[in-house]
Structure 1
Amino acid sequence: MTGVQALERKYPDLPMQAGHVLRREFEYIRHGTLSRFINLDVVTGQVIEPSWGPTRTEEDALGHLQRLIESDQQARKWHIVLDNLNIHQSEALVRWIAEREGILAESLGIKGKHGILQSMESRAAFLHDPTHQVVFYYTPKHASWMNQVEIWLSILTRKLLKRGNFSSLDDLRRQILAFISYYNRTMAKPIKWTYQGTALLASLSRKSSLR
């Protein structure tokens, strides 16, 4: 989940010519920001059930997750990786999962005081319960790169947003949806980690030995 601005170049690009690179106007017109919720299926590498809107509240996040789960009624289990944003560990999300699991609302406690709802940590622990049909996994702090959807978002930025020209929020939404459709048809594949961590472990070992 993230937000993106609809930026329109103030003047048209000057196309490439012999001996001259493409020249792009640096001034732009702002048409607002679109909040987007993106899901990446790690098995297929495809983007599924994206959501869009002007805000990114806990109600928006909950509605997005509900639509995602409802998109496949045959799924026996959902494993969802998220970062540590507070809207990903909200009271509303806990109450929805509890209702799905047949857990009484009265047993959840009170936000900020006691029980499952007391804190972000207690809510995250409940949402991570492996016995639930929908299980949430939270990336460590400062490690959102471990969430593979971040890799896809960098692809979107390089392939579309960085050089894009968007005349409105609707135009931005349309172009992103068109890119998702094209990506799913022609580019999607499972992401395979290639970094082995050898250099990082060696560096940590050296620092430890210097103490």
Structure 2
Amino acid sequence: MKKYVVTLTADERVELTGLLAAGRTAAQKVAHARILLKADAADGGPGWTDDRIAEAVEVSTDTVGRVRQRFVESGVAAALTRKAQAKPSRERVLDGAAEARLITLACSPPPDERTRWTLRMLADKLVELEVVPAVSAETVRRVMKKTLVKPHLKEQWCLPDGPSGEFVARMEDVIEVYHRPADPKRPLVCIDESSKQLVSEVREPLPTAPGAPARYDYEYKREGTANLFMISEPLAGWRQVTVTDRRTAKDFAEVLRWLVEERHPGADKLVLVTDNLNTHDPGCLYEAFEPDRARRIAAKLEWHYTPKHGSWLNVAECELAALSGQCLDRRIGSAARLSQVVTAWVKERNERKVGVNWRFTTADARVKLRRLYPAPQKC
């Protein structure tokens, strides 16, 4: 004889039948309702056995037994829901004070000439300092994730050491240029360049396969270097990358000539933003062309220089960073292949007209970078 016998009242049968007909009930509740209806041993009920119910509802006989037990002990509502599993209590390994010590430790210089702390080193150091008797690297990882401390990451910054009138003057000049409205007669053009080490494979890499990452031989062959001139027109969502063997003054002059004579022949002026490289000067035009032609090109250029330690103000450098991260972080063995890669990247990016929404204003700079502004002299 069964210990837990289901006997439903008329109201309970109506409730369970209505639940099955509702159409939007959780599958688990539907299954438990069907179990109760088929197990009902009251007058007129089917009173099926556990094995038969389990086969019909497609559950285990243990599930049928648990539903019976919860109905008898706690009623219909308890039988329709799955019993919550009690979570085992676990003593906290690192309390607030220990977590504070861990964060302080992670932000301190690593020992033994290491470049950074590892999770295991941090765990061992906490034990050595008697902060806790024992702690795992996984516990340390969870605390670091929760507190957003990331000693394995480093970021570069590019700002002068102290107040600099030259820096803020050039910074404000470039910022104001970026906030000018778009003018077809005065297009905004940003230029920067970067070198790329050409490296070819000694052995053919193995492609990615299920369960195995792509694999490359550690040997490689140096094939020289190439230069990339990045030309960016942020307001138009357009850019062009030119691959050259070098980045001499004559190479840069040719880029300027192409912009003035071919890209924007009808423009009154090209508003040009560049950094302070020694070749970025109108003098490069006189090294490459006859004086009349050099003067004609120079007259079309309105130069704006980013400050020293302020290359982040050049949108072309931001474009180069995107290109490097998306396409150039791999071995490329020839200038021809490099040109093929950057051409595909430029084409896709230009088709989407990826522009720049420059939001940093002069007012923002005077607040966020106020330490760089010299104190005015009192008269």
- 1:8 maps to 200
Match of 1:79 in 2: 271
Asked if 1:186 corresponds to 2:352, the answer is yes
Q: Does the CA contact (< 8 Å) of 2:194 and 2:320 recur in 1? A: no
- What's the RMSD between the two structures over aligned residues? 2.9
Task: Confirm or deny: 8 A CA contact 2:274 2:305 kept in the other structure.
Answer: yes
Distance 1:198 1:85, change over 3 A: closer
The alignment status of 1:99 with 2:295, answered yes or no, reads yes
2:228 alignment partner in structure 1 = 36
1:114 matched residue in structure 2: none
After superposition, the Cα gap between the structure-2 partners of 1:201 and 1:144, relative to the gap in structure 1 and judged at 3 Å, is closer
User: What residue in structure 2 maps to residue 120 of structure 1?
Assistant: none
Match of 1:174 in 2: 340
Which whole-Å CA distance do the structure 2 matches of 1:187 and 1:9 have between them? 34
Residue from 102, 124, 141 that aligns with 2:308: 141
**C-alpha distance in structure 2 between counterparts of 1:16 and 1:22, whole Å:** 4
Question: Deviating runs (4+, > 6 A) in structure 1?
Answer: none
Contact 1:31 1:169 in 2 (8 A): no
Query: Hey, what's the Cα distance between the residues in 1 that align with 2:219 and 2:367?
Result: 42
SS of 1:59's partner is helix
- Say which of 324, 335, 343 aligns to 1:157: 324
Task: Please give the alpha-carbon distance, in whole angstroms, between the structure 2 residues aligned to 1:182 and 1:41.
Answer: 15
Cα drift, residue 18 of structure 1: 4.0
Query: Higher strand fraction: Structure 1 or Structure 2?
Result: 1
Shift of 1:192: 2.9
CA offset at residue 3 of structure 1?
1.6
> What residue number does 1:56 align with?
247
Letter paired with 2:198? A
Offset, 1:194: 6.0
Q: 1:14 to 1:67 in 2, by over 3 A?
A: same
Aligned to 1:109: none
Do 2:252 and 2:284's aligned partners in 1 also have CA atoms closer than 8 Å? Answer: no
Larger radius of gyration: 2
Asked if the contact 2:195/2:228 (under 8 Å) is kept, the reply is yes
State the Cα deviation string for residues 23-44 of structure 1 (Å, max 9, x = none): 3333322222112222100212
Residues 58-106 of structure 1: per-residue CA shift (max 9 Å, x gap): 11111111111112212122101001011012523376787228xxxxx
Aligned to 1:113: none
How high is the TM-score relative to the length of structure 1?
0.69
CA distance in 1, matches of 2:275, 2:293: 18
Q: Which runs of 5+ in 2 are unaligned?
A: 1-192
Query: Which residue number in structure 1 is paired with residue 215 of structure 2?
Result: 23
Q: Distance in 2 between matches of 1:96 and 1:58?
A: 18
What amino acid does structure 2 have at the position aligned with 1:183? R
Q: Which residue of 1 aligns with 2:260?
A: 69
Q: Cα deviations across residues 114-154 of structure 1 (Å, max 9, x unaligned)?
A: xxxxxxxxxxxxx7xxxx53101111001111100111101
Change (3 A) 1:90 1:158: same
Q: CA contact under 8 A between 1:148 and 1:191: conserved in structure 2?
A: no
How many residue pairs get aligned? The number is 174
Letter of the aligned partner of 1:13 in structure 2?
Answer: P
User: 1:190–1:20: structure 2 CA closer, same or farther, 3 Å change rule?
Assistant: same
The 1:23/1:47 distance shift into structure 2, 3 A limit, reads same
CA contact (8 A) 2:199 2:221 kept: yes
